[in-house]
Structure 1
Amino acid sequence: MDLQCLRCWNVLSLLLLLPGRFWCMSVHILNEQPVHVIPGTKLVLTARIEKNLWEQISMIKWTQEPETGHDRTKVTLATCPAKSPKCSGERPDVQVSLKQQETTLEMNRYSTEDSGEYSVTVTDRSGANTTGRCIVREYEAVHHVSVSINVSHSLLVCHEAWGTDPSFSWLHERAAITQQVGKVSKDGDMLIVTMTPICGHFTCVVGNKLGYSSATYTAAPCESGGRGMTAAVVCLVLLLLVCGGVLAFLLWRRRRKNNMGERLYEHTDDTI
């Protein structure tokens, strides 16, 4: 029993004397990736630094490089000594701030050329580095919307080329989809048509923060509108026929009454 306690104390002493071997500083960017930014707006990236009590930060550096391509030149955006309240940067539109165990990079006017891989590297007092990375891309408008149909499954599918965060909605004859027409999928890009037969105009509207675009699938014309018009015409014709018949009857009756009066007058003259 005493031997086991002695071994435990020896292990604990080693842990206390050599903390760097068992504790590693880490840094990760908190933004959901990839980050999409509208050109002309502000880019904000925040990274959290996880470290133990023994570790001390000596330097923080933010860099950027192209995401793809052969020339992936890394550009230093800002360098921040831990003991200095100011960060030195190569661009006037980039600011970096430090707050407890977080560091935040702000780029005032983001442009398409600023897309790429962003890195934040934290250096401790022993010279060891740890890096967190994040992909930043341009927020793009909706492009090339189209609608296809799977006739066997009564399914309409809306396609969009490469817009950022597209949202889908459907219209039938310029009105919102009802249960009588169909059911929209959870993602919104598919419409299960329940009406039979499939007829009319089905429009898929795709939008994001930069605007909207739409495409329409045109099926056979719906007969409901034609039947209604035909019924209206038939009713009008019948009404005209009835009115004409009544008018003709009244005229016939008036004429007959006049004829009977003339005959009665002629008969009286003959008698006299």
Structure 2
Amino acid sequence: MTHIALGYDGSDAARTALDWVALRAAREGARVDLITVTNMVTTNYEHADRELHRAEKLLHDLAPGVLVESHRVDGKMPNALVEDARTADLLVIGMHRARPVRDALRGWMPQRLSARAHSPVCLVPQDWSANDQPVTVGVDDDPSSDEAIMVAAAEAAASGVPLRMVHAWSMPTPTLEGAAALLASPLQVKEGHRKILRDAVHRVQRSYPDLDIEEMLVADNPAAALLHRADATSLLVIGTHRRGVLTGGLLGSVAQDVLGQVACPVMIVSNER
């Protein structure tokens, strides 16, 4: 039985995330933990308990028969939530798209959570609505997306929708100057990236032979390639190098570029999980 932890604070985004969790839990009979992070100085515990009770009742109504537990934990975000959800298979939170680098859970950055969590993290935008579009996963040219690809395949198979595998490529920047710079032709570069995508597809097909797979090789940067297809996506799955917020901002992070830009849930999966 899948163990889902839902960070909940009673906001609109948190309630939308609860809807997403209910749909998923009802599909596969998951166990759900509702977690509210509190502060001994600023939190009204009675109000927090009432919100949790209402959320637990709503989840029972939306997904009858699903095992639901709720509790609050004192601490600071995101560490308190990450540690409390250490044993979960999936950690879910809601996020306001109007604040692309700040989510609904008391103003902390979602990238920090995804960098520290022990499980995949799913960020559900407050304007999400259910659809039967494919699950989309970004295929990187290094192993950082390997686990994300298999998680996305499992999500697509369980949902009964196709898996869209997107791999972006571009011509490399030459490292030498003048006549000594020997560049591969665009055709050679493209074929090399096509092989990366085909190898990833074959890995999925070995585990999910009946899964409908859409292959997309795109001449673009990874974030743009995913954003252009996000409107026709039920779930966007992205791998991560666990760079965190500051390093990701310096080195480039696909998740950091797409969060707040898409109306579909974004699941971030570390290859170290």
TM-score after normalising by structure 2? 0.19
Q: Which has the higher contact order (CA 8 A, sep 6+)?
A: 2
Give the number of the structure whose alpha-carbon radius of gyration is greater: 1
Higher helix residue share: 2
TM-score after normalising by structure 1? 0.19
Higher strand residue share: 1
